Amino acid sequence: MSEPSFRIEHNFLRALRTGALPAPRHALTLSAAGLSAAQLAGLFEAQVLSRCLDLEARRLQARQEGFYTIGSSGHEGMAAVAHALRPTDPAFLHYRDAAFFIQRARQVPGTTPTRDLLLSFVASSEDPIAGGRHKVLGSKRLHIPPQTSTIASHLPKAVGAAFSLALARRLGVSGAWPADSVVLCSFGDGSFNHSTAQGALNTAAWTAYRGLPLPIVFVCEDNGLAISVPTPPAWIESAMRGRPAIHYLACDGLDLLDTHRGAREAAQLARARKQPVFLHLRCVRLLGHAGSDAEQGYLSAAQIAAMEAQDPLLYGAGLLVAHGVLTASQILELYQHTAARVHAVAEQACRRPKLRTAAEVMASIVPPRRPSRARAGAGVERLASPAPLARLINHALDRLLARYPHLFLAGEDIGRKGGVYGVTLRLQAKYGAHRVIDTVLDEQSILGLALGAAHNGLLPMPEIQYLAYLHNAEDQLRGEAATLAFFSQGQFTNPLVVRIAGLAYQKGFGGHFHNDNALAVLRDVPGLIVACPSNGADAVGLLQECVRLADEEQRVVVFLEPIALYHTRDLHAPDDGLWCGTDPGPDHRLALGELGLWGEGRDLAILSYANGVYLARQAAPELQRAGIALRIVDLRWLTAIDHDRVHAAVKDCERVLIVDECRRSGSVSEELMAELCARGFDGARLARLTAADSFIPLGVAATSTLPSRAGIVEHALRLVDPRHIRQAS
Sign of CA dihedral 181, 187, 189, 193: negative
* Closest by CA position to 605, among listed 628, 634, 633: 633
CA distance 635 to 654: 19
Q: Are 48 and 335 in contact (CB under 8 A)?
A: yes
Q: How far apart are CA 452 and CA 374, in angstroms?
A: 21
C-alpha 61: how far from chain center:
29
The phi, psi pair for 726, rounded to 5°, reads: -80, 155
State residue 404 phi and psi, 5-degree precision. -115, 100
CA-CA distance, 336 to 234, in Å (whole number)?
A: 38
Residue 299 Cα to chain centre, angstroms: 35
CB 496 within 8 A of CB 555: no
Phi, psi of 657 (to 5 degrees): -115, 120
Contacts of 363 (CB under 8 A, 6+ apart): 489
Q: How many CB atoms lie within 10 A of CB 2?
A: 7
Please pick, among 75, 194, 514, 715, the residue that the annotation labels catalytic: 514
Which one-letter amino acid corresponds to residue 130? A
3-state helix, strand, coil in the chain (%, to 5): 45, 15, 45
Q: Give the DSSP letter of residue 609.
A: -
* Nearest by Cα to 195 from 223, 155, 161: 155
Q: Rounded CA gap, 171 and 45, in Å?
A: 42
Let me know if 514 is a catalytic residue: yes
Cα separation, 205 vs 216, whole angstroms? 11
Closest of 635, 666, 390 to residue 524, by C-alpha: 666
Q: Are 521 and 479 in contact (CB under 8 A)?
A: no
The residue count of the chain comes to: 729
Of 290, 333, 246, the closest CA to residue 71 belongs to 290
Active site residues: 514
